[in-house]
Chains A and B, each alone.
Chain A
């Protein structure tokens, strides 16, 4: 009986070692700063997704693959706001990371994986401690959600994968978003940002041309909407000739949804206005005169801000 039980624990132990081995196959070393190298994951056969804050230069970035071979890489795109960057290199022969389908759950066993040295893969064990968000990061980005874990973030783990016990990527680890601790960006969000970075070089941010204020939705408004939603965004200003004004939004409308998803806070609106939605027609749901209405608005693009760090301007 006891032996059977220990054998099952041995199977779990072996399974976790297999999971780390699988992740090791798509986790690379990224050498883009003076001190400690960081980690990265294969995004495609010639692109690596990594943590932006660990790149202190744009060229002469060195990648070390799982087999020990060294490649040079260039920055294809970076988004300090979400602390993600995409590097382009020659064909690595790596398969892209396997991604989880299901959203992360609090309590789920996870492993933080990194390759901060050429001596081999490294890992630490923990659980998903919290799934939180939306949040505006201190670097100015918006994350619809993010993960916290108690797995030890060893030095150089930023940019490496947080995986489940089957070796699938749950998120990408970074210590660059919350000072003094480590968070993981869910893999779905990270891949979305990466797609934009790979194509445009930076994350596009959408622009509607409204000023708004958080307001509670009355039970009658929620009944009219047909869903429980505690709050919305009262439009208190519409810029002339802006996408919002051209789409027909008026001062006094309460914005409650975008493209079929509820918008209950400013952070949610900003998070939903980033990336693919920019430059396209979006369905904006508002409550006007107590009744829900949908307007089509062509989302504009905010000019890129010049990110700063340590007083140094980045070249673009």
Chain B
């Protein structure tokens, strides 16, 4: 007795481009700069102008330059940080922005195709392809489970930090973070980022939390 053969045998006329997925994500992909040295990436998480990036991209800054996909440069104010899971939330000036389509990271499977977009080595909007390589757990120094993490074999470099990991439909399933607790090439699941955003917005003073609607 042998295993049933499943897989992609039924797929015909396969397109050779992942550009539709990138087109979906691109408007929400930003570059996050401190005005001097390096830059990272970020994702417009809510259309009211809430941006997710990595805490290590922000450092101790309170404000960052946000380069939007349309070429505009705006100031982003850091409103919440979560150093332990390396996430930070920034706020753009009041307005309406193209936010990302947030996918369900709980539904991810090892072997699924994913794409990473960011600005590795300062190269804006660079796209890399890979698969979900592992779904595991980051642990803290005491070895206690911290958060679920995604490992992908898509190539990442500094400048991908804070940028989106997304599926072939263009749904963002993770935030590329490079290094968490000794694991390299990892992403924080979109659900962890979403929980962080919801908690951060809930803790903000009412006036500051203007526009806390689901994007």
- Residue ranges of A at the interface with B (Cβ–Cβ < 8 Å): 2-3, 5-6, 8-22, 24-26, 95-96, 98, 111, 117, 119-125, 151-152, 154, 164-168
Separation of A113 and B158 alpha carbons in the complex (Å): 27
Cross-chain contact A8 with B14 (CB below 8 angstroms): yes
Asked, given contacts A16-B113, A17-B110, whether A120 binds B10 with beta carbons under 8 Å apart, the answer is: no
Asked, given contacts A20-B111, A120-B135, A168-B5, whether A12 binds B14 with beta carbons under 8 Å apart, the answer is: yes
- Residue ranges of B at the interface with A (Cβ–Cβ < 8 Å): 1-11, 13-15, 17-18, 20-21, 109-113, 130-137, 151, 153, 167-170
Cross-chain contact A15 with B131 (CB below 8 angstroms): no
Separation of A25 and B2 alpha carbons in the complex (Å): 11
Q: Hey, which chain A residues are within 8 Å of B3, CB to CB? A: 22, 25-26, 95, 98, 167
Cβ contact of A9, chosen from B6, B131, B136, B168, cutoff 8 A: B168
6 smallest A-B Cβ distances: which pairs?
A: A20-B111, A15-B8, A166-B7, A5-B15, A17-B109, A13-B113
Asked, given contacts A95-B2, A123-B133, whether A16 binds B111 with beta carbons under 8 Å apart, the answer is: yes
Interface of B is mostly: loop
Cross-chain contact A19 with B20 (CB below 8 angstroms): no
Q: Hey, which chain A residues are within 8 Å of B151, CB to CB? A: 122
Most chain B CB within 10 A, of A2, A9, A151, A166, is at A9
Q: Hey, which chain B residues are within 8 Å of A12, CB to CB? A: 8, 11, 14, 113, 168
Q: Hey, which chain A residues are within 8 Å of B9, CB to CB? A: 15, 166
Asked, given contacts A9-B14, A13-B168, A17-B111, whether A122 binds B7 with beta carbons under 8 Å apart, the answer is: no
Q: Shortest CB–CB separation between residue B157 and chain A, in angstroms?
A: 15
Q: Hey, which chain B residues are within 8 Å of A18, CB to CB? A: 6-7, 111
Cβ contact of B2, chosen from A96, A111, A125, cutoff 8 A: A96
Asked, given contacts A95-B1, A124-B153, whether A20 binds B134 with beta carbons under 8 Å apart, the answer is: no
Number of A-B contacts (CB under 8 A): 131
**16 new A-B pairs (CB below 8 Å) besides A9-B14, A19-B6, A123-B111?**
A2-B20, A5-B15, A6-B15, A8-B11, A9-B15, A16-B112, A17-B109, A17-B111, A19-B8, A20-B110, A117-B136, A119-B137, A123-B110, A152-B133, A165-B7, A166-B6
Q: Which residue of A lies closest to B168 (CB)?
A: A9
Q: Hey, which chain B residues are within 8 Å of A164, CB to CB? A: 7
Complex A-B: 12 CB contacts under 8 Å: A6-B169, A14-B112, A16-B113, A117-B136, A119-B136, A120-B110, A120-B135, A120-B136, A123-B131, A123-B134, A152-B153, A154-B134
Cβ contact of B131, chosen from A22, A95, A117, A125, cutoff 8 A: A125
Q: Hey, which chain A residues are within 8 Å of B135, CB to CB? A: 119-120
Q: Shortest CB–CB separation between residue A155 and chain B, in angstroms?
A: 11
Separation of A13 and B131 alpha carbons in the complex (Å): 8
Cross-chain contact A9 with B113 (CB below 8 angstroms): yes
Cross-chain contact B137 with A20 (CB below 8 angstroms): no
Separation of A181 and B135 alpha carbons in the complex (Å): 25
Asked, given contacts A123-B133, A154-B133, whether A16 binds B7 with beta carbons under 8 Å apart, the answer is: yes
Separation of A166 and B4 alpha carbons in the complex (Å): 9
Q: Hey, which chain B residues are within 8 Å of A16, CB to CB? A: 7-8, 111-113, 131
Separation of A154 and B136 alpha carbons in the complex (Å): 14
Q: Hey, which chain B residues are within 8 Å of A122, CB to CB? A: 110, 133-134, 151
Q: Hey, which chain A residues are within 8 Å of B20, CB to CB? A: 2-3, 5-6
